[in-house]
Amino acid sequence: MSIENKKTVEIYERKAATYLKTTIEHDKLDEEKAKRKKEKLHNFIKTNLDSLEKGSKVFEIGSADGENAKYIKELGYNVTASDIADAFIDETKSKIENTIKFNVLEDDFKDKYSAVFAWRVFVHFTKEDLDIALNKVYKALENGGIFIFNIMNRETKTCDEEWVDFPNEYHMDAERYYKYFLEEDVNNLISKTGFKIKSFHKEGGDNKNKWLVYVLKK
- Listed in sequence order, the residues at least 6 apart from 12 whose beta carbon sits closer than 8 Å to its beta carbon are 19, 84, 85, 88, 172, 176
The string of pLDDT tens digits covering residues 177-194 is: 999 999 999 999 999 999
The CA dihedral of 214, 186, 163, 83, to the nearest 10 degrees, is: 50
Q: Is the pLDDT score of 217 beyond 70?
A: yes
The pLDDT of residue 169: 67
Which residue in 83, 87, 61, 85 sits closest to 72, CA to CA?
A: 61
The reply to whether the predicted model has a pTM over 0.85 is yes
Q: What is the pLDDT of residues 119-170, one digit of tens each?
A: 999 999 999 999 999 999 999 999 999 999 999 999 999 999 999 998 776 7
What DSSP element (H or E) covers 196?
strand 196-203
Domains, the chain: 3-217 (3.40.50.150)
Could you give phi then psi for residue 17, rounded to 5 degrees?
-60, -40
* pLDDT value for 26: 79
Q: How many Å apart are CA 163 and CA 103, to the nearest integer?
A: 21
Find the distance separating the first CA and the last CA of the chain, reported in whole Å: 24
- Compute how many other C-beta atoms are within 10 angstroms of the C-beta atom of residue 50: 8
| Nearest CA-CA partner of 6 in 189, 193, 132 | 132
